[in-house]
Homo-oligomer: A and B are copies of this chain.
Amino acid sequence: MAQNKKDEFSKRENELADFANAISHPARVAILKQIANRETCICGEIVEVLPLAQSTVSQHLKELLKAELIKGEIEGTKSCYCINWKTFEKFEKTFNEFFTKANSNNPGKQAKCC
């Protein structure tokens, strides 16, 4: 990057980008899908299903935790993860605030040019 310019953008812009970044890899989408469909999921079950090494899955889980898309709890030797719906709701709200302004000015969603 030479320099990281992320500080120069607003908190809102960074929050949206961070959320999007967390789901910007198909492995993480697949992990979220597993957890969401089972409501709760043990790490080992995810590793079994994905075409990735255990250490790689662990790294992806760490990122999802960091972005607060999932919550985790250690149960003995196993780790149990579930979706943090609050973050999803917050994202949906922020996303809509950001990208529906033009829509409300322009009900048919037709751009003036192009």
Contact = CB atoms under 8 A, between A and B. Distances in A.
Interface of A: 5-6, 8-10, 13-14, 16-17, 20-30, 32-33, 35-40, 51-52, 71-73, 75, 80-83, 85, 88, 98-99, 101-103, 105-106, 109, 111-114
A8 B114 contact: no
Given A113-B73, A113-B75, A114-B80, A9 B24 contact: no
28 contacts: A5-B27, A8-B51, A9-B29, A9-B51, A13-B26, A13-B33, A14-B26, A16-B29, A17-B23, A17-B26, A17-B28, A20-B20, A20-B23, A32-B99, A37-B101, A37-B102, A39-B106, A39-B112, A40-B114, A71-B111, A73-B114, A75-B113, A81-B114, A82-B113, A83-B111, A85-B103, A85-B109, A88-B99
